[in-house]
A and B are shown apart, each in its own frame.
Chain A
Amino acid sequence: MTIGLTLSGIDHRYRDLTVLEGIDLTIPPGEVTVLLGPSGCGKSTLLGIAGGLIEPTSGSVTAEGDVAPDCLNPLTYVFQDFALLPWRDVAGNISLVLEDHPLPRAERTARIQEVLALTGLVDFAAAWPRQLSGGMRQRVGIARALAVRPACLLLDEPFSALDAQTRDLLLDEFAALIARAATTCVYVTHNLAEAVRLGQQIVVLSRRPGRVREIFRIDRPIAGRRTDEPDLLAIEARLWELIRGDAVAAEREIHHAG
């Protein structure tokens, strides 16, 4: 029970700056789609549009599929900066997204316990966000997203604020989680290793205005993938070739859009 998304004819402009142009994209149900591109290519904007947080200048997003009855928020985000409420403890932050729904108290507690267990946070239920490391904070962000039993997860560079070691640890945990849940995922990153580690469909976006340059497919299960496998390394090298020029140009650019 999961959903797929179809993005058709998406254009987006901030005032006179064209960010995205003519994006047509299908996000297949139950798969991980990675949006890859250099910084400033509009991939986060595209993710915002996909989940209904940003209104595109033109074009539309449609969802297709059945949503499980226990799903409280079909399209659910995980944020780069975690977006935890500092005035709620770990359990409270998860509880926040359940409180608006008429769940029996026992069910709510059960869901919180369940996602805490899934993300290894059971001992941290009463901790304040400020007391946690970056990795633990993002675990809370993922636990919160899982608590609503989403039909589609939208992840905006979820591990880019973490150090390399923590990132690798979390990446493995996360890969195991989504492999089990078989939830549709849209994963935004500029990190090539992450892309080949998680992606079943990798969408390479060009630099501004963002267009779809190429789509790669890696048709093998996420679980058990290792970044040092030869086929994945080959794809990584291909991807780097593709976006290298754009990355150099992006790095030398003066920022206009805020």
Chain B
Amino acid sequence: MRGRVAFRGGGFAPRPSPLAGAATLIVLIAFWQTASWAGWLPRLFLPAPREIAIALYRLALSGELWRHLGASLGRLAIGWSLGTVAGLLLGFAVGLFTLACSPGMAVVSAFFPIPKIALVPLFIIWFGIGEGSKIATLALGVFFPTVINTAGAVDNVPRGLIRMGQSFSLSWLSIVRKIVLPGALPGILSGFRVTSSIAIILLVAAEMIGAERGIGAFVLSAGNLYDVDNLLAGIVVLSLLGLIVAWAIGWLERKLLSWRG
């Protein structure tokens, strides 16, 4: 063998760049707008971004957007919080106690794959046509993934750290609060990313029945009326909601998990 040895390492290490992410979205939207202007897309059934923006502006101006958004945000906040708190409690129980471990996971495995949308008619009978059934849909959709995720996160806390706590005779509560909880926090927070998206996805299903207001109900009604501008405006709002929530969780992670560096 003779000659220069060629470089063959590198790669397999993608670096995040928020700027590139934003630029991609902007280029996509610009391309869409151009295609509409040029007449490559049927304006009738796929409106241009400009028209969606105008629809959005009108909704914001008339106050309709804020009424729908207010109703949906309230449901999201209550439904997600209920599902998350209950899911965290059961998840910790499953992760910490033999007594809860197998029974808890059996129940979760049996009920998690059920499409919550299919249960909406039942929820109406159980919780009524008002806010109850909507919040139940969201809470249940959030509950099961939270249990699975939390139990996994608790299980992943290094046992060595727990033994260390015991070797210094820390109380059970101290071990849970100061070792298990912070150790499971990264996993729990990344679970929040998933469950918050699930909640936004389920919003449309939750607001299918008996909702006068709400972004989900608005999107459904615009769809029924083939009001494509408003339909897409509603979808843009849902998507922005998802972006904001993801950003908020990212911020929370940076705050709470600064020790990871």
Contacts and interface: CB of A to CB of B under 8 A. Distances in A.
Question: Do A and B touch directly, given a CB cutoff of 8 Å in the complex?
Answer: yes
Nearest to A86: B259
Nearest to A93: B164
Given A81-B160, A100-B174, A87 B167 contact: no
Interface stretch (A35-43, A71-79, A169-177): A71-79
> What 5 pairs across the A-B complex have the smallest Cβ distances?
A83-B164, A97-B168, A87-B259, A77-B167, A87-B182
A85 B170 CA distance: 14
7 contacts: A53-B166, A76-B168, A85-B179, A85-B183, A86-B259, A96-B168, A100-B170
A48 to B, nearest CB: 9
A79 B164 contact: yes
Nearest to B168: A97
Interface of A: 51, 53, 73, 75-77, 79, 81, 83, 85-88, 96-97, 99-100, 128, 130-131, 148
B62 interface: no
Contacts of B170: 96-97, 100
A128 B165 CA distance: 19
A79 to B, nearest CB: 6
Given A100-B170, A100-B171, A77 B164 contact: yes
Contact of A83 (B161, B185, B260): B161
Contacts of B42: none
Contacts of A86: 259-260
B259 A128 contact: yes
B160 A85 contact: no
A99 B160 CA distance: 20
Contacts of A87: 182-183, 185, 257, 259
B98 interface: no
A75 B179 CA distance: 20
Given A85-B178, A96-B170, A100-B174, 6 more contacts: A51-B167, A75-B167, A83-B164, A86-B260, A100-B171, A148-B168
B160 A79 contact: yes
A97 B259 CA distance: 19
* Residue from B166, B182, B259 having most chain A Cβ neighbours under 10 A: B259
Contacts of B161: 83, 85
